[in-house]
Structure formats: structure tokens, C-alpha cells
A and B are shown apart, each in its own frame.
Chain A
């Protein structure tokens, strides 16, 4: 099923015309309204007149996550606050989050792309959506919610947590569609098995995203829950979930190219790679008002597939994310940067800034442990004081990262030192 055949199946030439025209409008908008982008373009000695077609995209400056942090909170907005109707946020590289603002039209665009996503997965108005993405500043919950409402489905805004109650409602309400992170889907599947209620479930479809997952996980989710599992991809800086989506082929994610222009670049040279090669995914939003971004570097590594898809959609497909070009970790759907951990630890004089992050996946749930060295001179003979220190650091990490780590104080010099760039992370999960 196709939600918007006009756009989703549009000929590539016509799409190119629309993209060029929308790109021109976007560049004019940011140049006129965002001092940040005007300055960036002036530095490159370009004006909106230099951007006429999609081919001119390479003349534009890149945008990176730190640009959002440096212009916190609203510095990249291209619409006045009176036009902004919604704010979302996600982790930045240090303490400050990055913020996205949406106009009414942006929210409409967002629900449109999610309506396309859900329709591509065969869902419609008789479906009952169980949305177990977090609701709040995170884009997952409210994003999926708006798309499910748009297609006329019944929506259960269950959000995260309280797994047994989730399953109870899933059986009582007869949910047919599940939206959550893939690791939570597996955790749900296991709990369903333990509760012995699999026969009472009416689930038949699931949409999963917000963290990387493998084809092996897809097979496992499909088998355990007896559903078809589809990928949703997105990021707050660009829009949120729905930037690209699986069709029934489950073979790559179609990028909503009438809204976002993708590029693949070499993260070192920043030059486009040859067609079909793996590199860093870059997006330019061409239909956003609140916070359009030019050439936003996602740091996600993938490749684009231009061969026509049997589903009939003409939108290019991106393959599953194959890794990161930076050190960002996605733990239980939350973006975590080692630099964030470091900035918190530096607030505590009792511990040395020597730390190591261990991430693993046990029983389909990500584990997150941080080892940090006691400073030899700051140690106390008082056990409760040491435990209290550990508690205070954990609390602070939880509030900055948005996810609670298990903190382990270790002896001085017990964390391996490396010459050159220190290695702060051991990630034992196989998520790419």
C-alpha cells in the first residue's frame, strides 16, 4: 500500500525539479532568517543565487552537531518563535542538549512521512497502534503518534516502562501494531513468553528504530512476536523518525526525497563518494520551516541504492546503518557521547578523569557500565562516604545523559592508558 503515490512514486526527473525548487526556497529562507547560516554562506562567498539545482548542493556549508550546541537553544531556527508550535531535544556532545523547533507545517510534514511509513508496512485505519517509544522531548513517541493518527488508526500512547502492564493492555486492547526500539521489542517478546500470553496477542506488524539493529535481530523479532518488522530511521536534527522507511520488501529504507536530500560523503575528505559506496550520510532538509538544516552530517555510515525497488516507489533507498564516523553510542535508544561522561566526571574532584565505558547487551537489554578511578588522595576510610560519592556521580550522569549507568569506582591507575587518543569505550554489542 502507498500513502502518497504522487510523491512516493514520482519520476526521478520530476522529483529533481521539485527538489531543486524546494532547495532554493530553503536556502533563501535560512539566508534571510538564520544569522548562523548567513554567516556560514558568507564565509564561503556564496549567496542564495548560487544555488539553483540539486547539483549546487555541494557548494553549501556542512552543519554538525556542535553547531547546534554552540547556538543553543534556538540559534539555528529559521522561523520566529511565534511560528514555532513544538520543541523537541536530544543529547548533544556535552552537557547541553540539542533542540529542534517545528512550525505547524513541519508537524504536518512529519505526520505525512510517518503516514507513508506505516502505510508502506501495510497498516491502516483499522489498526491499533501500541506506541512504546518514549513520549516527551524524545521525538520517537510523539512522532510515531502523529503518523498513526494521520492514517486514522487507534493509538495507544503507552510510552516506555512497566513491561507487564504494557503486555496486559496489548492483549486487552488487541493491539495490532507495535512501535518501539528493536531491543525493547525483543525484551517484550521474552516477557510475553514468560507470561505465557502469546496466543492472546493480535500483533501483526512492528516499526522499530532509534537505535541500530541487525538483520539477525529482525529475524528474531519476527519469529518471536510473529510479526513483520520494519525499520524506521530518523534523527531529531533532521526531523525525527520517518526520514526514511522500509517498504514491504524490507530491503533498505526509502528516503523521503521530496523532504530530505541525501548525500554520502567521505568523512575525512568531506567529498562525495562514488555512487553506491559506503560513507557518511548527510541530509539537507528542503521542506522544513522551523529548523531547516543544510548538509547535516549524521555521522551514520551507510550506502545509497538507486536501483528501482519492486514496490514501485522511486525514492532512493539507504541500507541499514553500518556504523558511526564518530564515537557516539546509542544505548537503549539514547545517544551517549564519551565526552558527556567526561564532562560530568570532571565536576567531581574525588575521581580522576580516567574512565572506561562498557556497553553490552544482556537479555536484549543494553547494559551500560562506567568505571572511574578514585584519586589516591581523595579516598576516605568511611564506606558510606565512598558509596555516597558513587551515588552522587551516578545521579549527575543520569541527569546529563538521560540514561542511568552502573558506576564502578576502581583503583588508581587500573584503567589502561593509551598513547595517543585514549580509547574510552568497549562496546560488546553486535548492533551493526
Chain B
């Protein structure tokens, strides 16, 4: 299962709101593996990969957050110069657009969460080129 359920939360730019969100997740024993925040002048969208996305959604909805689950994938590449550009080259060849991504590299590997416009095509291209896509169980317990 190499599709990851990413949890996105609508956050007003309001003092303490991020603390409230992470507190709610912490109290529900939900772990964050990765996250990113996209901001506009009035609000932000926090996108995250968590240990139990469905439970996390339930908890946050109960707390009154606007939440959505969406499909992303996690690509693992070598932590080397030029590796990312090779993958992106495959995407542009196949007409795949990246809506957003976030990444972090440490040690030998870099892990990249990608939200492409055509998820199925994207997975196929990566598999055809023997790229490593981490599956959900792996990512959610990084």
C-alpha cells in the first residue's frame, strides 16, 4: 500500500491555534511523522502524515477543526546532488504536475511527500523506473 492518507487542517492565523491542534493530537496519542504549513495572509493549511490518519481526523473534527484527508505518496531517494532533478525530470516527461511537496534529508536518504495532479500515473512512472515509494505503514511510524 504505497498511497498515504495525508491529513490537512484549516488553521486561522490566530495566536495559540497551532498549540491547540498539536495538543489535541498528542492527547489522542497520535504521532506526527512529517508536516508542512502553507500560509496565506489570513489562514494556513497544515498538512501532515500521522500515525493514524482516520483516528486523527475523528479527533480533530470532534474538536471543531476543518479537516480533510487526501492521497499523497512518499518517495525515498538517495541523499545525493542531482537525485531530485532526475525524478522531477520523469514527471515533466510524463506531463505530471506537482501541486506541492515537502521533504527532509538525513543520513543516506531523503524522504519526499509529493502531491501530484495524477497520482496513478505518478506511481506507475516511479515504479517503472524502480524508484522507492515508501508504503503507509512505514511512513506513519517513521
**Bound form: Cα–Cα A386–B8 in Å:** 12
Type the 1/0 row for B17-55, where 1 means its CB is closer than 8 Å to any CB of A. 000000000000000000000101011010100000000
Taking a contact as CB atoms under 8 Å apart, the answer to whether B65 and A412 are in contact is yes
Given contacts A381-B6, A414-B12, contact A387 B40 (CB under 8 A): yes
Q: What range describes how many residues of A lie at the interface?
A: 10 to 19
> Is B67 in the interface zone, CB < 8 Å from A?
yes
Q: Once the chains bind, are B68 and A380 in contact (CB under 8 Å)? A: yes
Assuming the contacts A381-B115, A386-B45, asked whether A376 and B67 have C-beta atoms less than 8 A apart, the reply is yes
- Docked CA distance A411–B21 (Å): 12
A411 near B45: Cβ-Cβ < 8 Å: no
Given A381-B8, A383-B38, A414-B12: A376 in contact with B45 (beta carbons within 8 A): no
B141 within 8 Å of A (CB atoms): no
- How far, in Å, is A417 (CB) from chain B's closest CB? 12
Residues A376 and B66 in contact, CB atoms below 8 Å apart: yes
A379 contacts chain B at the CB level, 8 A cutoff: yes
Say whether A375 faces chain B, with CB atoms less than 8 Å apart: yes
- A375 and B115 contacting across the interface, CB-CB below 8 Å: no
Q: Is the CB of B47 within 8 A of A376?
A: no
Q: Which residues of A contact B100 (CB under 8 A)?
A: 383
Tell me which residues across on chain B come within 8 A of A383, comparing CB atoms.
Answer: 38, 40, 45, 100
With A and B bound together, what is the CA distance between A379 and B57 in angstroms?
12
- Contacts A381-B6, A381-B70, A382-B99 known; A413 to B64 CB distance under 8 Å? yes
Q: Could you tell me the distance in whole angstroms from the C-beta of A265 to the nearest C-beta in chain B?
A: 44
Q: How far is the CA of A412 from the CA of B115 in the complex (A)?
A: 26
**In the complex the two chains form, what is the Cα distance from A38 to B13 in whole Å?**
57
Pair A375/B66 contact, Cβ less than 8 Å: yes
B49-81 interface (Cβ within 8 A of A): 61, 64-68, 70
Q: Within the complex, what minimum Cβ distance (angstroms) separates B57 from chain A?
A: 10
* Complex Cα spacing A411 to B20, Å: 13
B127 nearest CB across to chain A (Å):
24
State A378–B66 Cα separation when bound (angstroms): 8
Closest to B13 in A: A408
Q: Which residues of B contact A377 (CB under 8 A)?
A: 68
Binding site for A on B (CB under 8 A): 6, 8, 10-12, 38, 40, 42-43, 45, 47, 61, 64-68, 70, 99-100, 115
Enumerate the 6 nearest inter-chain pairs by beta-carbon distance, A residue then B residue, closest first. Answer: A381-B8, A379-B66, A413-B64, A374-B66, A383-B38, A381-B70
By a beta-carbon cutoff of 8 Å, the part of chain A in contact with chain B is 374-383, 386-387, 408-414
Query: Can you list 18 contacts pairing A with B, beta carbon distance less than 8 Å?
Result: A376-B61, A376-B66, A379-B8, A379-B66, A379-B67, A379-B68, A380-B8, A380-B68, A380-B70, A381-B8, A381-B45, A381-B70, A386-B10, A408-B43, A409-B42, A410-B12, A411-B65, A411-B66
Known: A374-B66, A377-B68. 17 other contacts (CB 8 A): A375-B66, A376-B61, A376-B65, A376-B67, A378-B66, A379-B68, A380-B8, A380-B68, A381-B6, A383-B100, A386-B10, A410-B43, A411-B10, A411-B11, A411-B64, A411-B65, A412-B65
